[in-house]
Amino acid sequence: MYQDLVRNFLRDEDGATAIEYALIAGIVSTCIAGALSQISTTLQGTFNSIAASFAPAN
């Protein structure tokens, strides 16, 4: 009886798909965060140069 329960538990693969999707979502979100950190540096420089052009001339 217990052996059947253990065998069925070990053969069950229903949760594997959810885990795979969670891993894929984690990898994608990590890539997005890395790309945004690279873009933010560029955007910050762009906005600083635009802000400097609006500064009054001394």
Looking at residue 27, its pLDDT comes to: 97
What is the torsion angle, in degrees rounded to the nearest 10, for the CA atoms of residue 13, residue 14, residue 20 and residue 22? -140
CA distances 38 to 11, 18, 47, 55, Å, are 44, 31, 15, 27
Q: What is the mean pLDDT of residues 9-27?
A: 86
What's the CA gap between 20 and 51, in Å, rounded? 46
Question: CA torsion angle for 26, 31, 32, 37 (degrees, to 10)?
Answer: 130
Residue 36 has pLDDT above 70, yes or no: yes
Mean pLDDT of the 25-43 span: 92
Reading the block at residue 7, the tokens are 């065998």
Q: What is the mean pLDDT of residues 33-43?
A: 89
